[in-house]
């Protein structure tokens, strides 16, 4: 739990400050000229996403959940309504107008839809007191929330591989950025979600009661 929290805090500490300046020149994502609200929506998305990432650390902490169940519920509501829901809705618009090409746009919109869907279903299962289902859906939601970290890692790996294997791409910055984003965005959330599903299947299999012969 501690390594995860440190990783998330470090990521937020590095990623968030440039957007607090409200200087679009410091944005990692260039604003498309045909969508004026892109930058303010991106700033809001980063803020809500940071809330989701930080509260996610509390939600996956077993000790906190068991020792402080009321605080866990409050943190969960902040995660849903102060993080994922507004951040996910904004991500739909930002993703649809991504400057990194159609492959990245489709990936970003799908990620936003899945992020919202898993989170809303998980919240509804908690309200219905179906806590087993609630945990499973929220694990999927948490995986998608933190997939942005994997996105950055995959982006760096893909960039290196493309430069080594694709002659001339290093001299074409736009092509390199679009190709890297297109591959990296898909790998970021699909690998995270598949890992979460594998963990859920393995956990269910290992915790299945044995039937005596």
pLDDT, tens digit only, all 213 positions of the chain: 678 889 999 999 999 999 999 998 899 888 888 888 999 999 999 999 999 999 999 998 888 888 998 999 999 999 999 999 999 999 999 999 999 999 999 999 999 999 999 999 999 999 999 999 999 999 999 999 999 999 999 999 999 999 999 888 888 888 999 999 999 999 999 999 999 999 999 888 876 655 443
How far is the C-alpha of 185 from the C-alpha of 105, rounded, in Å? 9
The structure tokens listed for 150 are 């994997």
> Residue 105 carries which DSSP code?
H
pTM for the complete prediction?
0.89
Residues recorded for the chain:
213
23 sits in the region (left: phi over 0; alpha: psi -120 to 50; else beta) called beta
Radius of gyration in angstroms for the set of CA atoms belonging to the chain, rounded to a whole number: 19
């Amino acid at each position: 739990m501690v390594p995860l929290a440190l990783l998330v805090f470090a990521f937020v500490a590095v990623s968030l400050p440039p957007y607090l300046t409200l200087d679009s020149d410091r944005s990692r994502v260039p604003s498309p000229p045909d969508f004026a609200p892109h930058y303010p929506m991106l700033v809001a998305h980063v803020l809500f996403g940071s809330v989701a990432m930080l509260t996610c650390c509390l939600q996956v902490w077993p000790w906190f959940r068991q020792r402080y169940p009321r605080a866990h519920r409050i943190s969960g509501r902040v995660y849903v309504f102060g993080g994922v829901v507004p951040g996910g809705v904004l991500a739909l618009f930002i993703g649809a107008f991504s400057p990194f090409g159609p492959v990245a746009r489709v990936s970003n919109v799908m990620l936003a839809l899945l992020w919202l869907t898993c989170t809303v279903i998980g919240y509804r299962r908690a309200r219905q007191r179906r806590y087993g289902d609630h945990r499973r859906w929220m694990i999927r939601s948490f995986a998608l929330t933190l997939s942005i970290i994997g996105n950055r890692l995959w982006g760096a790996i893909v960039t290196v591989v493309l430069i080594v294997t694709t002659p001339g791409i290093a001299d074409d910055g736009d092509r390199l950025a679009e190709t890297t984003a297109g591959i990296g965005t898909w790998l970021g959330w699909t690998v995270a979600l598949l890992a979460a599903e594998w963990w859920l299947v393995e956990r269910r299999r290992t915790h299945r009661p044995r039937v005596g012969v």
